[in-house]
Every structure is written in structure tokens, then in C-alpha cells.
Structure 1
């Protein structure tokens, strides 16, 4: 009977070690990069483990957002500052 107890103890120890290593690998390889990506206000793709930068539709189509408040809200949601306004050349 003592031999069976020793085998069970070893089996549970191996299962515990594998589970511990598995949880550490998950945390380091999947959870931490996803959290860092979301903190930087980007999109995390869990399937491919890619941190992608969001793009405004107006950047793709070239059409500008007419409502300045809506544009500012969209840029703030993405974490991008509003573009600097070009100054008109001064007339001498």
C-alpha cells in the first residue's frame, strides 16, 4: 500500500508542476501582451497574437469627418492626437 501512495504522490506532484508551468506560460505568452496592447489603446488579435493599430475609415477613404467634435472623439478613442492645423501663409 505504501508503494501506491508514493505513486499517487508522485503523480499529483507531476500534475501540479505541469499545471503551474502551464499557467506561467499562459500568463507570459498570452495575458501580459494582450494587457499591454489594450493599455496602449490598440487592438489585440488573440488568434494570431498580434497587436494592431486601429485605422480611421477617413484615413482609408480620404474623406474627412466634417463634424470636428466627432473627429476629435474618434481620434481620442483611438489614442491619436488631432492633426496640427497648417497655418496659412502670411500675406506681405
Structure 2
């Protein structure tokens, strides 16, 4: 690592902090909400737990957000949280 690149780091950090203060979203843009979110929200509205929703989505062979693997409580929570956030910003 050169000393020149080390000297620029505080400036970059300060610039990023200033951008965040202005409300600029840094990093990769969020992926679109998966179509499975609607089904997960529907099941949650019926009063099912995260585990029960995961079981139902797996039984219905609804694809996960990544399109791989099986639904778990954590992936259901991720989809529901993203849906709630999207509803809040709409």
C-alpha cells in the first residue's frame, strides 16, 4: 500500500460521511422485492408464525428470494421486513 493511498483514506471517509449526512444511500441498491413477498404477507395476515409460513411456502414450492434452497424463519422475516419497509416508503 502506498502512502499516497493511505493519505486519501480520511478524505474518502469524510466524503462518505458527508454524503450519508445529506441522506445519500451508499452501496449497492436493494434488490427488488420478490414476488413471494405477497404470499408471505398473506400467510402472516392469517396469523401464522414465521416457522409456519416457511413450512407453508416450502410445501407450496414457492421460490426463496435467492431462488435456491428452502425457506427458513430468517428468510421469511427478511421478506416481511422488506415488504413493511417498502410499504412505509410508498
TM norm structure 1: 0.28
Greater RCO, CA 8 A, separation 6+? 2
Higher percent of residues as strand: 1
Task: Tell me which structure has the larger Cα radius of gyration.
Answer: 1
TM norm structure 2: 0.29
